[in-house]
Amino acid sequence: MRIKKIATAALLGVAALGLSACNTLNTTVSRYQAMPAPQGQTFLVVPGEGMAANGGLEFERYAGIVAQQLQAHGYAPATSAQNASMIVSMGYGIDTGQVHVRSDPFYGGGYGYPYYGGGFFYPHYGFRSPFYYGWGDPFWGGYGGGIDSWVEYHSQLDLHIRAAGTNQPLFDGRVQARSESNRLDVLVPSLVEALFTGFPGQNGEVVKITVPKTPHA
C-alpha cells in the first residue's frame, strides 16, 4: 500500500512538472546594442524576414506588442517613416517540427535509448544546430510499450533597430525557443517578452530567459 501511494505521488509530481513546462517557454536571447538613452526618439515597426515579410494583420498585431515594449522603455511611436528617428525591423518564423522518440529504460527490462534529430532547416534562417536530449523532458504523447514520442518546434524572432536616414545599427536582437506548440499567437508574444527582458541588455550578451507562454490580449 505504501509503495502504491509513493508511486501515485510521483506520478502526480511528474504531471505537475509537465503542466509547468507547458505554461513557460525557455528561450535563448542574443543582443548587440548601441541604443541611445530615450530623449524623444520616435520609431516605426516594419516587416522583416521570415513569416513577417508580407506584413498583414498578423504582423500588425505582433508589431503592436513590440511598440508597447519600446514605449515602456521611453521611446515614442511615429505616425510615418518620414517622422521616425528609428526604424524597427521585426522578423519571425517557426519550423515544421521534428518528431522525437525515447524509450523507457525501465519498461520490460530494456536499456532504453534516446533518439533525436540532427540539424534541421529553418525557413528563411538556414540550418540550425541539433536538438539536445534533456531540454524540457516531454510528458505528453507516446507510442505505448515503453516508448514516448513528441513533436518539438523551433521558433525564432529577430529585431533590428536602425537610425533613420543614416541606417546606423542601434540594436540587433535574436530570440530562439523550442516548444511543443507551433501556435504563433502564443509563441511570438512570449518571444517578444523574452527579448525585451532587461532591454537593451549588454552588448554581445547571450542569455537564457524563461517567460510565461500565454496568448497576448
Q: Which domains does the chain have, with CATH numbers?
A: 26-211 (3.30.160)
Question: What integer is the mean pLDDT of 98-126?
Answer: 51
- The pLDDT of residue 16 is above 90: no
> pTM of the entire structure?
0.71
| CA–CA distances in Å: residue 16 to residues 11, 13, 36, 69 | 9, 5, 44, 32
- Report residue 111's pLDDT band, with 50, 70 and 90 as the boundaries: very low
- Report residue 135's pLDDT band, with 50, 70 and 90 as the boundaries: very low
Residue 15 is which amino acid?
Answer: A
Residue 144 is which amino acid?
Answer: G
- Count of CB atoms situated within 10 Å of the CB of 74: 11
Q: So what's the pLDDT on residue 198? A: 96
- Report residue 107's pLDDT band, with 50, 70 and 90 as the boundaries: low
- Report residue 101's pLDDT band, with 50, 70 and 90 as the boundaries: confident
Q: Compare 162 and 16 and report the one with higher pLDDT.
A: 162
DSSP letter (8 states) at residue 107? S
Residue 13 is which amino acid?
Answer: G
CA–centroid distance for 66 within its chain:
14
- Mapped onto helix, strand or coil, the DSSP state of residue 137 is coil
